[in-house]
Amino acid sequence: MTDNSNLPPEHEAKVSDSSHQIRIKEPAPSEKQQNDLKPKNKQKSTPKQVVVDDHLLSIPQLCEKYNTSISRESIDKSEALSNTRAVELLQKYGKNILTPPKTKTSFRIFLDCLLSLFNIMLILAGVLQFVLLAIDFKNNKSSIYIGIILIFVSFLNATIEFVQIQSSRKILQSFMNMIPQKCNVIREGALSEIEASTLVPGDLVFMRLGDKVPADIYIVQSSELQVDNSSLTGESEPQERGPENIQTNPLEATNLVFNGTNCVSGKGYGIVIRTGDSTVLGQIAGLTSSADDRPSPLSLEINRFVKIISTVAILSAIIFFIVGQVINNDIAFSINFAIGMFAAWIPEGLPATVTMLLTFAAKRLSKRNVLVKDLKGVDTLGAITMLATDKTGTLTKNQMTVTYVWTNGNLYSASTTSDKNAEPITDTSIFGVSDCIQASALCSSVKFDKTDIPVAKRNIIGDATEAGLTRFAATRLDDYDNYLVDHAKVFEVPFNSTNKWMLTINKVQHETGIHKLLIKGAPERILRLCSSIMYNNTVEPLSDAEKAKFTESYEYMASKGHRVIAVAKSDLPADKYPEGYVFDKKQQNYPMGDYTFVGLVSLEDPPKHGVREAVGRLRTAGIQVIMVTGDHPLTAEAIGRKINLILGETKSEVAKRTGRPIESIGEDEYDAVVIHGEELATMTDEDWDQIFHKPE
């Protein structure tokens, strides 16, 4: 057990969520020693108390508590939980999901549809017809039919809307079941991808840049791991996480990551300590009630119209009641007169017409695989004038394939192509090409779900760019797996959005030592870190001539719509970096510049089938489409032209065609706009207005 004698008194951290608060208690020693895993579905009082004290335990104590086994020396070879034990824990603690908010009953949904302002007016008008009948049955027999019709129309409107909502709910639920969140977990010594809902306390989870944290997790090993806690604690800056911790407040503990937060940098391994409703996010969710749906613009307009009509109808009824009294001084006549005027203002056919038109539109959309959750949302969809969409995986297939390699001053083709400017790679030992292959294989953070099948058939766990580089290297190495073992990675700085590069140091024998530094990333960033280049079959100082050749090749690859990655290296001398040398990121006891530029590798991510046609239809409908991507502007422009997103000339193209400076090109001389990410921060409102008025 843990010695808690030096722990401070009980602490409390509060997380504000709207008007609710959740308390996270740190228990006193005697309370802590008795703490154990909480079974599922346990009722808690309000405010809810979450006992979070695992951050105070050491890693061996944590493993003992959760009955799991890890290897600190080689974390990815850890045994962790067995599949049998995981099944037992899943049955005991339930699925790793948050209890969904209480859904409305079918009757309540129908009642909401029936009690809209328009339907209330119709029902009121119908009831008043029966009031007329009661006042003067003989002269108001027609009120029977009018009253029945008005009330029937209100129920018909509600029924049509109710049926559409119920149908959409069923389809939406089936969609949610089809797209479960995935995570990477080690069980019985093997890394596999599973549904996050099947995670249990004690599981060893692998997380990396871009992953969503699937549960509350204690970090046991990390490399540059940072998480975005803004949704939980409001901290705007990414928070670094690792095994070390000196904080007693669990929300400030540097060895914990919480369910629902996002990994924004690096990678790490951690042990699951809480799942489902027991997580901090689950506790907050339990304290908050589901927010009401925001009404659609059409709903707001209809309600506004109903309020105006109601006001006018009531005022008319009052005025004509007074007029009737002045003329006839007959109370029955005046009431009859007033109710008649009130009913005359009610547009009985409008609600049915609107509902039927929206229903027909929803049916047509369903045939085009568009799910309409709310009938009035059809009008909102029809009012769209601009659509901003991601590129990778949305407009493109997210299946990267290496196409070109530029190294040693030459352009090589890595795939079948008719490009006369590129030579095919016929020999992997070509000066520079072999280094690009080596960097693609070793400077990587990909994982495999299986290693007993050929690399080409394996499921690669990693982003599409690294997967493409891995397949490129694996098909050109005699034994990819043994190559990784023989050139083991001893240090790594993962990719992050700030640096835009990834660095590894591997055991690679060379003339001056046994360690080789490899770095890959954004070409302009990598070039700044280099002082020499592999050129003309030798390594020579990086001059303006080579930089110009680099820019020419970079732009040539990018202009074809390819993502371009740069590769550099540094042979670390043995006298400074001997066997067993411990590299440390905080101390930066490794070279941070003076690298040798190896070359450029381009990857193609082909557009999805049907995207060009979809963009064309949107354009015909008057909807402006904007593509959002982190690629080079030339790459973005080339992809845009492939999918017909860009048809006209850009500002730079007009300048090139006319031979004029780009600053002299007027706004009316070009149609298409391509904006570099660095320009966004300096753009004014006037700049945005000019952009949005461009057709492309």
Closest CA relative to residue 55, chosen from 278, 273, 280: 273
Which DSSP category does 212 fall into?
B
Structure tokens at 605: 């991510």
- Phi then psi for residue 627, to 5 deg, are -100, 130
Structure tokens at 332: 């029955």
**Is-catalytic flag, 390?**
yes
For residue 260, the model assigns a pLDDT of 85
Query: Is the pLDDT assigned to residue 490 strictly greater than 70?
Result: yes
Q: What is the mean pLDDT of the chain?
A: 80
Rg (CA), the chain: 33
Give the pLDDT of residue 500: 87
Instruction: Inform me whether the pLDDT recorded for 663 exceeds 70.
Output: yes
Under DSSP, the state recorded for 563 is E
Compute the residue count for the chain: 696
Give the bridge partners for 208, in sequence order: 267
Angle at 300 (CA atoms; ends 296, 302), nearest 5 degrees: 115
pLDDT value at residue 638: 82
φ, ψ dihedrals at 21, nearest 5°: -135, 145
- Helix count (H) and strand count (E) of the chain? 22, 24
Q: Is the pLDDT of residue 223 over 50?
A: yes
- For the stretch 189-197, contacts whose Cβ atoms lie closer than 8 Å and that sit 24 or more positions apart, written own/partner, are 189/77, 189/78, 189/79, 189/80, 190/449, 191/76, 191/447, 191/448, 191/449, 191/461, 192/449, 193/449, 193/459, 193/461, 196/96, 197/95, 197/96, 197/97
* 25 has pLDDT over 70: no
Checking if the pLDDT of 13 tops 50, the result is no
Look at residue 272 in the predicted model and tell me its pLDDT: 94
Burial class (CB in 10 A: 0-12, 13-18, 19+), 474: buried
Annotated domain spans of the chain: 12-78+199-287, 106-176+294-382, 401-604, 611-692
User: Cis bond leading into 47, ω under 30°?
Assistant: yes
Alpha carbon distances (Å) from 375 to 139, 297, 358: 41, 12, 6
pLDDT at 534 over 60: yes
**Whether the predicted pLDDT of 687 surpasses 90:** no
Q: Where are the alpha helices (DSSP H) in 94-215?
A: 106-114, 117-135, 142-178
Tokens of 28: 């006193």
Tens-place pLDDT, residues 499-508: 889 999 999 9
Q: Is the pLDDT of residue 594 over 90?
A: yes
Helices assigned H by DSSP within 535-684: 544-558, 611-620, 633-642, 651-658, 677-680
Given a cut of 70, is residue 448 above it in pLDDT?
yes
Domains 106-176+294-382 and 401-604 share a fold: no
If pLDDT is split at 50, 70 and 90, which confidence band does 12 have? very low
Q: Give buried/exposed letters for 211-249 (b at 16+ CB in 10 A, else e).
A: bebbbbbbbbbbbbbbbbbeebbeeeebbebbbebeebe
User: For residues 590 and 572, is the Cβ–Cβ distance under 8 A?
Assistant: yes
Question: What sign has the CA pseudo-torsion 198, 201, 202, 204?
Answer: positive
Topology of domain 401-604 in CATH is: Calcium-transporting ATPase, cytoplasmic domain N (3.40.1110)
Which burial class, exposed, middle or buried, applies to 404 when counting CB atoms under 10 A from its CB (0-12, 13-18, 19+)? buried
Answer yes or no: is pLDDT of 694 > 80.
no
The angle, 0 to 180 degrees and rounded to 10, between the axes of the packed helices 142-178 and 106-114 is 130
Q: Which of 54, 136, 228, 390 is catalytic?
A: 390
Residue 478: pLDDT over 70 = yes
Token representation of residue 305: 């119209």
pLDDT value at residue 674: 78
- The 10s digit of each residue's pLDDT in 100-148 is 767 788 888 888 888 887 788 888 888 888 887 887 777 777 778 888 8
Q: Which residues, at least 6 apart from 561, have a Cβ–Cβ distance to it below 8 Å?
A: 604, 635, 638, 639, 641, 642
Residue 677's pLDDT band, with cuts at 50, 70 and 90, is low
- Tell me, what's the pLDDT at 671? 76
More reliable by pLDDT, 478 or 33: 478
Q: Is the pLDDT of residue 447 over 80?
A: no
Give residues with Cβ within 8 angstroms of 26, minimum separation 6: 7, 10, 11, 12, 52, 53, 56, 248, 249, 250
What number is the average pLDDT over the span 588-610?
91
Per-residue pLDDT at 305 exceeds 80: yes
Q: Are 413 and 425 in contact (CB under 8 A)?
A: yes
Question: In this prediction, what percent of the chain has a pLDDT beyond 70?
Answer: 87
Report the pLDDT value the prediction gives residue 596, as an integer from 0 to 100. 95
pLDDT of residue 463: 77
The pLDDT score that the predictor gives to residue 396 is 83
- What's the pLDDT at 690? 74
Question: Average pLDDT for residues 669-687, to the nearest whole number?
Answer: 75
Per-residue pLDDT at 185: 93
Domain 106-176+294-382 has CATH 1.20.1110.10: yes
The per-residue pLDDT for 113 is 83
The CATH number of the structural domain formed by 12-78+199-287 is: 2.70.150.10
What is the average pLDDT across 263-284? Answer: 86
Task: Please give the average per-residue pLDDT across 586-611, as a whole number.
Answer: 90
